[in-house]
């Protein structure tokens, strides 16, 4: 049967462990009229949280339906693996509605079961009818969400200090580059399920080292000098890698919480390599650290009032963070409150934070070509907020299509509209091009053109100042053919349809579900790298394409390359070239 | 919230006279959790009330049938999703609710 086949596929992919989510994802709508929420959104939002493994305090409410401790623990695990991404750790609601006991107990077990089993057209996945959950599990979850939400532990300075380790102290490190690698062209590739990054020599395409990291590294970032590489796992573990060592390797590590997504480093003149900052999902906070040791110096909570309705939110997660080139400031984006914080690190004991009101729920974003403006997706509002990092002000909220997901976006010069910044969407197939030249009154901070992509489920979009191509992936699209290929647009003629390249076929990996993720340029801007991400027990690969000819240049295969989900080129990441 | 907009839409559509009783009935539907699964004019987990009204309008004896169905719950008429039983709702309230739905 169809449903059976999907389940098998889900298992084969080990979906419960996928980053952007899970099998709900693969579950096709079984009811007509389920259109409003697209599968890619569900895939993205329903990602598992590392909190599933944490022990938590639990209050017992005598009015809630009874559960044994074993049932409660199972419910908690399922909740954090499948529901928390949309309904929040404390069940106060985000993409999904609040599920606090006052609301759930008023509905009662039977009604809750119907929602969980059959889903709803407004975006609740159909966990029962998709085959993801048995009737017994549906019943368990209906009772679980009537209990008082268990609260995960806080993670302050003592906890951070206890996880902080300096493997090689700064004075024992090399004083100059000790290897012959062209370190500006190294790629840091996330190996998701093994909890590692592969450092790959972009010139020779050989693996330099595989470094043990946190689980499912979300991003890699570079210090301003390009010497230090910072990677952060979903479990909030940060590793600091010194690229000057004979064999570049880990020199320090720390955990800054229980779940996290973002890290960056001070880039302003005079502060190069001085500070690092990381943002956590749980606890909701950001942490400023010493750049060369990760010693935690300052922790700031993000709990507080939301933009607009000004209501208290107990868990505003920290989304993207970038470093200003104009001031000694980090740009910290808070998801649930919809605020952008300009955190000035000139004096961290007397920290100056400018709070900019944007819109809910801030997610990821990137600079325009001048690096003066930061464009960040507010994905539930279907807007892109434009922040002037020089003035510390909101410039504009730009309406875009459904659930923008820019990654860092892509900058290029449009033949008719001048400089633009581009974003794809999780909720639609469109690519929005936003004018970024403030002198052009007609086009500045407006969508000047929408391109039609292959389909929804786009995560990353990329070009390079030396290139005439715009590369768009669609790894979360339910159609395998689309998830396994890439669309390339000709920037000099954007009215022309894109070419599609069957990148996964080029990797020649045989059977198995795979997705093509995250185009990334080499330093010279003449090669584009892709991750072809298969299940943990299947072969994956990296595919390198010649930017000019759009022909296959190399396939990197190695038994150690397991579940690659993305990569960052040292030079382009250091200099925010995208 | 949806419910608020719906009330407003109803008030406008029904004109002033219909507003007060419609509000009362809607409050009853809310009290008995009908609106957890139903919306007035949009399909949710259950069919839109307006669709239900359209389907059954004018059929003899339909009020009793629907009241019984709501009380016992069931599926198959509108699709595979079942309505949970509403055994705790009094017969008088069920009658009011069904009449309210059929008037839409």
Smallest CA–CA separation between A111 and chain B, in Å? 6
Residue A14 confidence (pLDDT): 33
Asked if residue A491 has pLDDT above 90, the reply is yes
Smallest CA–CA separation between B75 and chain A, in Å? 11
- Tens-digit pLDDT profile for residues A372-421: 999 999 988 899 999 999 999 999 999 999 989 999 999 999 999 999 99
Whether residues A108 and B33 touch (CB distance < 8 A) is answered with yes
Of the ranges A3-7, A423-427, B23-27, which one carries the lowest mean pLDDT score? A3-7
ipTM of the complex: 0.70
Smallest CA–CA separation between A93 and chain B, in Å? 14
Average pLDDT, chain A: 90
Asked if residue B28 has pLDDT above 60, the reply is yes
Could you tell me the two tokens for A417?
Answer: 């509209």
A31 contact residues in B (CB cutoff 8 A): 79-81
Which of B84, B86, B88, B89 best probes binding to A when mutated, by most A CB atoms within 10 angstroms? B84
Whether residues A31 and B85 touch (CB distance < 8 A) is answered with no
Question: What is the mean predicted confidence (pLDDT) over A441-455?
Answer: 95
Whether residues A111 and B33 touch (CB distance < 8 A) is answered with yes
- Tens-digit pLDDT profile for residues A275-325: 999 999 999 999 999 999 999 999 999 999 999 999 999 999 999 999 999
Residue A575 confidence (pLDDT): 96
Nearest beta carbon to residue A121 from set B33, B43, B80? B43
Residue A33 confidence (pLDDT): 37
Which of A3, A32, A33 best probes binding to B when mutated, by most B CB atoms within 10 angstroms? A33
Buried b (16+ CB within 10 A) or exposed e, A493-523: ebeeebeebebbbbbebeeebbbbbbbbbbb
Whether residues B43 and A30 touch (CB distance < 8 A) is answered with no
pLDDT-above-70 percentage for chain A: 92
Residues B63 and B52: their CA atoms lie apart, in Å, by: 12
- Tens-digit pLDDT profile for residues A147-200: 999 989 999 999 999 999 999 999 999 999 999 999 999 999 999 989 999 999
In three-state form (DSSP H/G/I as H, E/B as E, the rest C), the secondary structure along A419-466 is EEEEEEECCCCEEEEEECCCCCCCCECCEEEEEECCCCCCCCEECCCC
Picking from A566, A578, A577, A569, the residue whose alpha carbon sits closest to that of residue A185 is A569
pLDDT-above-90 percentage for chain A: 76
Q: Which residue of B has its CA nearest to A117?
A: B81
- Write the CB contacts of A450 (distance below 8 Å, at least 6 apart in sequence): A401, A430, A431, A432, A433
Name the residue with higher pLDDT: A30 or A98: A98
pLDDT-above-70 percentage for chain B: 79
B37 contact residues in A (CB cutoff 8 A): 111, 114
A110 contact residues in B (CB cutoff 8 A): 84-85
Strand partners, A554: A544
């Amino acid at each position: 049967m169809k449903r059976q086949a999907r389940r098998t596929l889900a298992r084969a992919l080990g979906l419960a462990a996928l980053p952007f989510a899970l099998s709900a994802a693969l579950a096709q709508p079984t009811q007509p009229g389920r259109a409003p929420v697209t599968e890619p959104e569900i895939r993205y939002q329903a990602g598992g949280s590392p909190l599933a493994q944490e022990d938590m305090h639990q209050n017992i409410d005598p009015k809630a339906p009874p559960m044994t401790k074993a049932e409660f623990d199972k419910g908690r695990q399922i909740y954090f693996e499948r529901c928390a991404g949309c309904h929040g750790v404390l069940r106060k609601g985000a993409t999904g509605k609040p599920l606090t006991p006052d609301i759930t107990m008023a509905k009662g077990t039977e009604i809750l079961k119907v929602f969980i089993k059959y889903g709803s057209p407004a975006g609740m996945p159909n966990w029962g009818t998709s085959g993801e959950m048995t009737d017994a599990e549906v019943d368990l979850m209906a009772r679980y969400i009537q209990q008082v939400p268990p609260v995960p532990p806080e993670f302050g300075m003592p906890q951070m200090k206890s996880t902080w380790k300096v493997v090689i102290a700064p004075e024992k490190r090399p004083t100059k580059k000790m290897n012959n690698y062209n370190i500006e062209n190294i790629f840091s590739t996330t190996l998701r399920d093994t909890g590692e990054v592969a450092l790959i020599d972009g010139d020779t395409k050989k693996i330099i080292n595989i470094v043990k990291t946190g689980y499912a590294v979300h991003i890699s970032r570079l210090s301003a000098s390009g010497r230090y590489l910072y990677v952060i796992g979903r479990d909030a573990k940060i590793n600091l890698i010194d690229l000057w060592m004979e064999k570049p390797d880990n020199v320090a590590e720390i955990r800054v919480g229980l779940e996290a997504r973002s890290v960056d480093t001070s880039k302003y003149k005079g502060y190069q390599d001085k500070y690092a900052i990381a943002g956590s999902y749980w606890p909701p906070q950001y942490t400023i650290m010493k750049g060369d040791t990760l010693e935690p110096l300052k922790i700031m909570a993000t709990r507080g009032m939301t933009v607009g309705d000004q209501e208290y939110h107990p868990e505003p997660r920290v989304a993207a963070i970038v470093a200003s080139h104009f001031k000694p400031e980090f740009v910290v984006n808070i998801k649930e409150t919809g605020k952008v914080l300009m955190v000035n690190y000139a004096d961290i004991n007397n920290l100056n934070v400018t709070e900019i009101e944007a819109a809910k729920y801030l997610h990821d974003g990137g600079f325009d070509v001048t690096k003066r403006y930061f464009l960040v997706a507010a994905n539930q509002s279907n807007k892109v907020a434009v922040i002037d990092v020089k003035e510390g002000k909101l410039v504009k909220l730009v309406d875009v299509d459904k659930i923008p997901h820019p990654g860092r976006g892509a900058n290029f010069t449009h033949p008719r509209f001048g400089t633009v910044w581009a974003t794809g969407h999780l909720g639609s197939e469109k690519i929005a091009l936003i004018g970024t030249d403030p002198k052009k009154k007609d086009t500045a901070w407006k969508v000047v053109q929408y391109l039609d992509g292959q389909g929804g489920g786009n995560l990353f979009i990329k070009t390079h100042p030396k290139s005439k191509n715009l590369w768009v992936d669609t790894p979360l699209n339910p159609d395998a053919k689309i998830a396994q290929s890439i669309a390339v647009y000709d920037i000099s003629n954007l009215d022309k349809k894109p070419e599609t390249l069957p990148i996964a076929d080029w990797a020649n990996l045989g059977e198995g579900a795979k997705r093509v993720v995250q185009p990334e340029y080499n330093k010279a801007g003449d090669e584009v790298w892709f991750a072809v991400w298969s299940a943990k027990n299947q072969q994956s690969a990296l595919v390198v394409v010649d930017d000019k000819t759009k022909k296959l240049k190399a396939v990197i295969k190695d038994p150690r390359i397991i579940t690659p989900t993305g990569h960052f080129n040292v030079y382009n990441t250091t200099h925010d070239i995208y | 919230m949806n419910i608020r907009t719906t009330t407003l839409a109803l008030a406008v559509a029904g004109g002033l006279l219909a507003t007060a009783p419609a509000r009362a009935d809607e409050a009853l539907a809310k009290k008995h959790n009908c609106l957890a699964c139903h919306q007035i004019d949009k399909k949710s987990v259950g069919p839109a009330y307006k669709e239900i009204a359209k389907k059954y309008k004018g059929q003899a004896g339909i009020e009793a049938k629907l009241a019984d169905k709501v009380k016992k719950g069931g599926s198959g008429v509108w699709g595979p999703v079942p309505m949970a039983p509403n055994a705790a709702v009094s017969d008088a309230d069920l009658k009011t609710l069904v009449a309210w739905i059929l008037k839409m």
